[in-house]
A and B are shown apart, each in its own frame.
Chain A
């Protein structure tokens, strides 16, 4: 049994620049990051800012990028009610064979058919059959029905 050798050279920096989310997900440093659907991001941000306003200790950011992001999320998030947002989260968390990125995309784009989902999220093509995917999409669509 040999003892592990100490490194004799500095570790190389990871290669960046070829990240993409096509047929194969190559997310670089975001491979293990938690993806958020638009609704989740909106809810999380409003909770954090609400908390900051109430506590009074730290300021809520007042810049362009944050404002534009908040406006964008307000327009495009599909599940504004807390109960529906949590229900969608529960459905998506249960899909353990899909990566965090794919789950977040499903929750954000809200496709109607499995074909649409597979076209818009190419990496799903090999992972699920059309029937399974269609069932999942219908569950999500049903939740979109309730204001």
Chain B
């Protein structure tokens, strides 16, 4: 889940950087070092603002100065037991890989319900229940994270879709949620494209109270 977290970073500057734009350079270096990095526990996505930069402390014996910057950042920290939406990147008979932003997750076959078997013959390979629910590359799934492992600079997670309300979810294009009106129904049909209209309607049936009246 995304959080706003207060963090601090110590940056050491060579004396050649001691000039009027030193603070700007420090912030620039902070952004370059920290944004898009992974601490092993969480990903730092974006620095919001720096609150305090300590005065530089000259390191004895060297000319370098050490600054500690206190800043706030948007971070992504996955938790065990958290429900997340993910995009499937690859499917195999052992399970499928999905990505939650920068975090890669693996859902093994044991964590996929038995009514969605692996269909080797289909192209592309997919887990399918024979109906609308097809887990293949590019599909959206809702999963619960079962384990989180950290590595240097990366994190991996394992997930499960075996519980209620988990698994394949309809892809919503943008934020279309419409006033139930016959004209919008036709607009929706042309809009949705590859997503099956029936599936969209079934999942959002509270939007279409007068469905039986439409042609």
Contacts and interface: CB of A to CB of B under 8 A. Distances in A.
A72 B100 contact: yes
A20 B28 contact: no
A38 B2 contact: yes
Nearest to B45: A69
B119 interface: no
Contact of A121 (B27, B38, B83): B83
Given A36-B74, A69-B101, A147-B176, A119 B165 contact: yes
A66 B4 contact: no
Interface string A114-145: 00100111100000000000000000010011
Nearest to A80: B175
B66 to A, nearest CB: 22
Nearest to A73: B101
A14 interface: no
Contact of A41 (B2, B102, B177): B2
Given A69-B45, A78-B175, A30 B80 contact: no
Interface string B34-78: 011110010101101000000000000000000000000010110
B81 interface: yes
Interface stretch (A3-11, A55-63, A86-94): A55-63
A65 B175 contact: no
A64 interface: yes
Taking chain B's interface residues, is the majority helix, strand, or loop, or is none over half, making it mixed? mixed
A44 B74 contact: yes
B132 interface: no
A30 B4 CA distance: 9
Contacts of B176: 147
B168 to A, nearest CB: 15
B99 interface: yes
A80 B48 CA distance: 20
Interface residues of A, number: 55
Given A59-B28, A146-B177, A48 B85 contact: no
B164 interface: yes
A66 B175 contact: no
B27 A35 contact: no
Interface in A41-58: 41, 44-45, 48-49, 57-58
B192 interface: no
A35 B3 contact: yes
A144 to B, nearest CB: 5
B38 A72 contact: no
Interface in A75-120: 75-76, 78-81, 101, 104-105, 108-109, 111-112, 116, 119-120
Closest 8 CB pairs of A and B: A22-B81, A63-B36, A72-B101, A21-B79, A20-B80, A61-B35, A41-B2, A36-B2
Interface of A: 16, 19-22, 27, 30, 33-38, 40-41, 44-45, 48-49, 57-59, 61, 63-66, 68-69, 71-73, 75-76, 78-81, 101, 104-105, 108-109, 111-112, 116, 119-122, 141, 144-147
13 contacts: A21-B82, A22-B81, A41-B74, A59-B31, A64-B36, A64-B102, A66-B46, A73-B101, A76-B85, A76-B140, A105-B1, A120-B142, A147-B176
Given A66-B35, A120-B83, 10 more contacts: A19-B79, A21-B79, A21-B81, A34-B4, A36-B2, A65-B102, A75-B87, A101-B1, A105-B82, A120-B144
